[in-house]
Amino acid sequence: MLEQQQARSIRFHSPHPSKTYTIGRFLGDVRWLVTHVDALVGAYLGDEIDPQIREEVLTAVSFENACRWCSFMHSEWALELGVDSEELEHIERLNPSGVPFERWAAALFARHRAAQGFGPMPPDFEVEASELFGERHRDLIEALARMISVANGVSNTFDAFLARLDGKPLPGSRLRDELFFSALFAAAAPWAAVALAVMRGEGPLELREKFADFSRRFEDLLRRGRMAFAGA
């Protein structure tokens, strides 16, 4: 019975329709990433941003986009890099208590940008962000937020396909999009899972059980985070 519950937790999660992808939106977002590849390289391969802050930003945006796959992946990665588990939980739930200001500000800025759909920043907000982070650091955080939002959209549309298989198609989600992004997910997710398992020193079954437990708790984590975000 427990194994059946775990399997169902892994398989079925219905993301909000606005958090899924169309092929057109995906191509537009990828074009943006290609034109800002220098920021992504600086964030991932350079020393321009603390790796712990990077993973906290990726986790925060994944929670904003209601992506259980990326939320689990990057929260685990953050823990492996030495982020305190309580600090990470506070970032997930938008509780600034005990979170260093620099980390909190980066996570909150990234989450706000994702919530706004990365539309044009109001001039006063852009100036304030530049003064707080510096223009280059602000651009690095923006690039990370946009990059993980692409992964979130792919993963959420895969979940929409799983929901369709369960007889619960998401309103407005198209089968052709779901098939396209499910293929992308199937090509990339196993490699990411292997990398995480190796880094964490865990076997595939252990990692699967952890993800099943995370999936069962995910809706509650989202609800608490959204309640906090409404007042942030």
Q: What SS3 string covers 165-208?
A: HCCCCCCCCCHHHHHHHHHHHHHHHHHHHHHHHHHHCCCHHHHH
Which tens digit of pLDDT belongs to each residue from 159-206? 999 999 999 999 889 999 999 999 999 999 999 999 999 988 888 889
| Nearest-angstrom CA–CA distance, 84 and 52 | 10
Q: Encode pLDDT of 108-134 as tens digits.
A: 999 999 998 998 888 888 888 889 999
Query: pLDDT digit string (tens) for 52-109?
Result: 999 999 999 999 999 999 999 999 999 999 999 999 999 988 888 889 999 999 999 9
Q: Which two tokens stand for residue 61?
A: 């945006």
Q: 70: which residues sit within 8 A by CB, 6+ positions away?
A: 58, 62, 148, 151, 152, 155
pLDDT in tens, 203-225: 888 998 999 999 888 887 777 65
- In Å, how far are 1, 23, 108, 111, 227 from 95, measured between CA atoms? 35, 35, 10, 13, 11
Say what the pLDDT of residue 5 is: 38
> What is the CA 230 to chain-centroid distance, rounded?
19
**Cβ-Cβ contacts under 8 Å for 220 (sequence gap 6 or more):** none
